[in-house]
Chain A
């Protein structure tokens, strides 16, 4: 059994990191959609009030203004809850950010299933599918505070629009402090021979712990973390899938068009492999504490282990 140490919430690591980076990168400005006290852009405002812009509850406008600011060489970091960026402000993102390839960084806070008992409106787990479908858009979902810090440094240097998925709860720490995120690269976090599991975002920690559970049953999981869902590391995906000949994808996200969809597309075209898509099942969410939500919606460590076990048994 492998249990990871509990770390910070990704949102806190985000707030701390952008504040650190702003000390040496004058291009950074933050646009907040009235959620800074939740997303920790409050830390940035305290340090750099002249580079922090409170946009109020005007998401469509906020994303448009960010695009305008980017034309002057600034790097606008736009932060609010994922649902309000991806759903509410979709038109601004599409026309003013994705189409012109504007250098705007979209911080989707409270993404996924675990958003503090907010319920269906705020639980955003089709964000990856929607953003992945948009040309020019890069989509990144980090697993822990270490990867969040490293990835933020990389995507702020990268010239182009990025959607960055940030979750609310404290998250287990998967990576050592010297881990370095590489944009567009998948990371093998556990070598194994029986089944290849692809995972993204904070679900990778649950997949990692599930692999530990399965090891006790004699199932040897090859676990690949895919923090950059777009562009997908197709070579790594094909190699890892071919290694075991059996694939399970798992994500805190709908199985329609997310990581599982991306990998199904890549394998279907390059290396057809039997696969199971594990994640949220084409549904909307509901209010509830994190534990019961993970259990009911089938992506807890135990249920993730069960899904992998079933895939191996049905091979």
Chain B
């Protein structure tokens, strides 16, 4: 049997296994692992214990980030700091709805822009932003859509865009000149998202909002509440701008330092037992995301081992340019959904060379692809930012209804990215070294 036939057969079996197991188990994590095992079996790899165990490590660092960031944010809510900040924002900006929404959008953009991870934005400020959006009259599905869209935009925003960095590294391009060509489209799409999702929302009166919020904890002032976030900002800025004088702390430890800071600023000294409860609750709450990371890693490893990854990649990059234009908006997000940042390495880097060969400005092309990959963070099997967003804002509707609310800004972002891909010369003036 040719490699094409064998890998196509394996792919078909994996798709069928995913559909069946999703229906049977109602657990996307378990379905991914079952799909991987079926793929290995059909491809003649037997029970791939080595690939299974190795695969669980693929996104381990992300799992650490999820757990520690959530511990920080739950501690932050526990001490009433989140409530204090929400109150401060409402009191100061209640009358200026659009200004408030823009401020919230910018607040969402900062953590992801500094760290390259949209999930960090969602986890760190998503809950706060969601609380204010709700009070400003946005429907629940729109709140989730807002947090998700700004989350993925924050990952695209400069200075750190991991997809562009990976593509640049693969193509031996320096990661320079990306700032404006990323920032301008991100701001345009963010402004559109704010206008689209905020349109028609009618805020309650300030008094009604404040009355509806939990009472302010004694001695919890807005500046006290700002301390842990300031620590996080300082650590992130230090890691980037004082990298030669500070040791590498890594995200998980940064979040734990911020969690410890939160405990320190707590005006009510809670017993250790209460904090242990918070940690246990957090682990249970964040587990689906952690399990997704572990499971999708197994799936990715089996996709590579069986050659299905290669089949998908070659089928896409071997298309004529016009075919790439026509399918990018589907293939790139789907690749992100299954491969995470690996999509930039597997599809992005070869595509940079394809576009380079036709004389396109590769910095603009890489920026455009990074936007297309980011769109996939709400798609299966991993749905990382999408799931994090609905978990963080506590959205109770179906995942489909969340996607429906996201559809228009998602498409606008896709169209902007496609336009940059098709006529990269028009955006080349934004490439500044």
Query: Do chains A and B stick together as partners?
Result: no
